[in-house]
Amino acid sequence: MPINRRDFLKFSAGAGLLAGAGVDSAVAATEKPPQLPKDAVGILYDATLCIGCMACMVNCKRTNAEPGGALYHREAEGQVPYEYPESGDAIYDAPLRLSGKTLCIIKAYRAEGDAVEPDAPHSSFIKQHCLHCIDPPCVSVCPVRALQKQSDTGIVTYNKHRCFGCRYCQVACPFGIPQFEWEKASPSIVKCQLCNHRLAQGKFSACCEFCPTGASIFGPVEELREEAKRRLALKPGDTYNYQVQHVDGRQRTEKVVSRYVDHIYGMDEAGGTQYLFLAGVEFNKLGFNPHISNEIYPRLTWSYISQVPALIGTLLVVGTVTRLVTQRIEKNKDANQKSTDEADAS
Amino acid sequence: MESNPTIKTWTPVTAVLLLFIVTGSMAMLYRLVFGLGATTNLSDAYPWGFWLGLDVLGGVAMAAGGFIIACAVYLFNWKKYRPIVRPAILTAFLGYLMAVVAICLDIGHPFRIWHPMFMWQYHSVMWVVAMHVIFYTATLGLEFSPMLFERLGWEKARRAVGKVMVAAVIFGVMLSTLHQSSLGAVYLIAQSKMSPLWWDTKLPFQFLVSAVAMGLAMVSVETMLSRKFLHHKVDKEIFYGLARGTLIVLSFYLLLKLYQLFVVSGVGLAFNGSMQANMYLLEMLIGVIIPVALLAMKSIRRNTSWIFSINLLVISGVLLNRLNVGLFSMEEYFASHGLSYSPSWMEFLVSLGIISLGIFLYKMSAKHLPLFSH
């Protein structure tokens, strides 16, 4: 037989490497950008209107502790999971960060020392909760489909009966949103589900419904995008009739326009989100991870996974052919002997 | 066949192993009853910690020796390595069983471990990994079973497995290759949180190559140990061959990492004195650069005590790489959230228990099964 054994091994090793290298070269050039679901709803948070009253936080907790809410647990029926301050009296809800008991939190930024620019505002509030990505990393990584994106509203929901607690969603979410109930022996992931249960009752997200200033408004994402663009075009110092609660503008409040940073956060970040932000302070200062890009994160994974079926086939073929060829070489080498039988191989 | 009389069951080592197994089991029980928060120092910023980094990522990488040696013997027909194919398969089997135990403890609902089998989500690398673990552990069980059948004298069963052995090896090599790289692919999506010293689109391939290097080193170490303590008679040529293999694979890995450092992440990042930079340098030095430099010398490559020490370096280096990818690569992100993590004593106890169980089972297999007969 003409094939030289050494060369053949070189070839098969090379084929293996090629197969491995192919994984990396996958470029998602042909894929379209993620499409907004047809009835996508979301929130526009305008930090320049937020007074930090935290009505959103406390009403988020209260309404989500009701049956169907993201904080509802049958064993704790009727209890609202308030987190009291570590020192002092247990009189008000004072969580420090998102947790298994807090879906939504208002944080404050204060400019310090040299960082203060003469023109820029010295402080701002920021409201953190799930951004409901258009192509959510958490949904793409969940191995049991406990996290799902609703095809109509685009809300990212969670089913605790499917979840087996691997916490990959926590690793994958660039915004650090999903939280885990560490203290429980039977834990769940906890995250904002945009008051999905209230939507079914004809209401909408509690954080918007109870916001007295119009800092958080609810509505179809397309309309929120339009509104955000309109606000960026306003002139600081003019007055504007801001919507309250809902982008439909049935309730409005007239206010003097503050200066905006010329950016709508959530328009393109992580491929776009259904929760949009406007602010007077650079978003990096408001606690957003500066390394978050406009990358559609699930595609990083898909460029690997989409190659797996081809790799399975390639590896099986390469393995089988290698075995056949080395056996042939063996036979030729010991032409007089009978080749060793398979049973011996074990 | 009879049990191997030269291996004594009761030795001080066995006693220590059993002690660790018992204390580890108690910590595991505590975790099952009281949950992860009571047992570990994990938090929402550090959802994955020591168990996942060391026991799962490290354990699976250590098990890579099984598919490499099986591939060398059954597919490449390198007969020289036949004496170590059974120990290598056993190590891989035990390694995967240990990883499965660690995964079961690490997930929030151990008794829902079967969920991925019925709730498919093929967009998730975790699901792909879960499938690999299930199929490969089963395949390793099949590859291991002839030892058991020989011991029990079940000739028919042994013959039946013998008929499908080569198919099982081909299937196992495919699964293992993909599983090792998939573990790296798990981290592709965490781009915004990880340092570019580790995050790279070629992470899956890097995981595969480093696992091969570590698997070779691991098989070598374990054969040297069983040669010394369990009286397994093997030719020194095997160690020389494995050392040569380690050198080749590790040199290739070094090239991959250098390319990433110089072309992708930027060389300055490794020398800025930060904790991440130092962890990166440590990992590269002990796991890759020093071993390659030493193994490149023929006199060292053909000296078993040198090889033993170098192997330990390679193993620690790759383990450190897994801990770095899983934990330290995200240090900057975590620190910006004002949170830190170090494993609790119970996390250590559980890991120690799991590793001790693996060693104990290996020793018992060496005594009671035809592990070293070939």
Of A164, A171, A188, the CB nearest to B113: A164
State whether residue B254 sits within 8 Å of chain A by CB.
Answer: no
CB contacts < 8 A, A to B, total 211
Three-state DSSP string of chain B: CCCCCCCCCCCHHHHHHHHHHHHHHHHHHHHHHHCHHHHCCCCCCCCCCHHHHHHHHHHHHHCHHHHHHHHHHHHCCCHHHHHHHHHHHHHHHHHHHHHHHHHHHHCCCHHHCCHHHHCCCCCCHHHHHHHHHHHHHHHHHHHHHHHHHHHHCCHHHHHHHHHHHHHHHHHHHHHHHHHHHHHHHHHHHHCCCCCCCCCCCCHHHHHHHHHHHHHHHHHHHHHHHHHHHCCCCCCHHHHHHHHHHHHHHHHHHHHHHHHHHHHHHCHHHHHCCCHHHHHHHHHHHHHHHHHHHHHCCHHHHCCHHHHHHHHHHHHHHHHHHHHHHHCHHHHHHHHHCCCCCCCCHHHHHHHHHHHHHHHHHHHHHHHHCCCCCC
How many angstroms separate the CA of residue B176 from the nearest CA in chain A?
Answer: 10
A109 vs B374, residue with greater confidence:
A109
Residue of chain A minimizing CA distance to B38: A183
**Residue B336 near chain A (CB below 8 Å):** yes
At A13 the pLDDT is 44
How far CA B302 is from CA of B237, B240, B310, B316, in Å, comes to: 9, 6, 12, 21
| B201 touches A: beta carbon within 8 Å | yes
Give pLDDT, residue A78.
84
Listed by number, the residues of chain A in 154-173 with a beta carbon closer than 8 Å to a beta carbon of chain B are: 162-168, 170-172
Model ipTM?
0.91
Contacts of B34 in chain A (CB under 8 A): 185
Nearest to A346 among B48, B115, B158 (CB): B158
Using an 8 Å CB-CB cutoff, list chain A residues near B47: 167, 170-171, 180
Burial of A155 (0-12, 13-18, 19+ CB in 10 A): buried
pLDDT value of residue B31: 94
Supply B321's token pair.
């790489």
* Yes or no, beta carbons of B162 and A166 under 8 Å apart: no
A298-321 average pLDDT score:
94
- B127 in contact with A, Cβ within 8 Å: yes
B301, two tokens:
């490559």
- Is B123 close to A182, i.e. CB distance below 8 A? no
Q: Among B123, B158, B210, B339, which would you mutate to test the A interface (most chain A Cβ atoms within 10 Å of its Cβ)? A: B123
| Chain B residues whose beta carbon lies within 8 Å of the beta carbon of residue A142 | 121, 124, 126
**Contact call for A289 and B333, based on CB within 8 A:** yes
Predicted local distance difference test score (pLDDT) of residue A115 = 57
List the 176-235 stretch of A: residues with Cβ below 8 A of B.
Answer: 176, 179-188
Average pLDDT over residues A23-37: 59
Query: How many angstroms separate the CA of residue B247 from the nearest CA in chain A?
Result: 16
CATH class of A41-302: alpha beta
Closest CA in chain A for residue B200: A24
Contact A187, A181 (CB under 8 A): yes
Tell which residue, B90, B57, B316, B99, has the closest CA to residue B223: B90
A9 to chain B, any CB pair closer than 8 A? The answer is yes
Which residues of chain B are modeled with pLDDT < 70?
1-2, 374
For chain A, the average pLDDT equals: 86
Query: Which of A181, A300, A311 is nearest residue B188 as measured by Cβ atoms?
Result: A300
Contact B119 A319 (CB under 8 A): no
pLDDT-derived band of residue A5, with 50, 70 and 90 as boundaries? very low
- pLDDT at residue A16, as a whole number: 45
Work out the minimum CA distance from B25 to partner chain A, whole angstroms: 17
pLDDT > 70? residue A342: no
- The per-residue pLDDT for range A89-106, each reduced to its tens digit, is 777 888 988 999 999 999
- Asked if the Cβ–Cβ distance from B177 to A315 is below 8 Å, we say yes
Would you call B123 and A140 a contact, using CB atoms and an 8 Å cutoff? yes
Nearest residue of chain A to residue B171 (CA atoms): A316
The least confident of A126-140, A181-195, A270-284, A332-346 is A332-346
Q: Between chains, do B182 and A304 touch, taking CB under 8 Å as contact?
A: yes
CB contact (8 A) between residue B35 and residue A182: yes
For the cut 70, the answer to whether the pLDDT of residue A9 exceeds it is: no
Architecture category of domain B12-368 in CATH: Up-down Bundle (1.20)
pLDDT score of A118 more than 80: no
Q: Given CB atoms, is B210 within the 8 Å cutoff of chain A?
A: no
Q: B173, A315: Cβ pair inside 8 Å?
A: yes
Enumerate residues 280 to 299 of chain A having a beta carbon within 8 A of any beta carbon in chain B.
289, 291-293, 295, 297-298
Q: Is B182 on the interface with A (CB under 8 A)?
A: yes
Residue contact B124–A143, C-beta within 8 A? yes
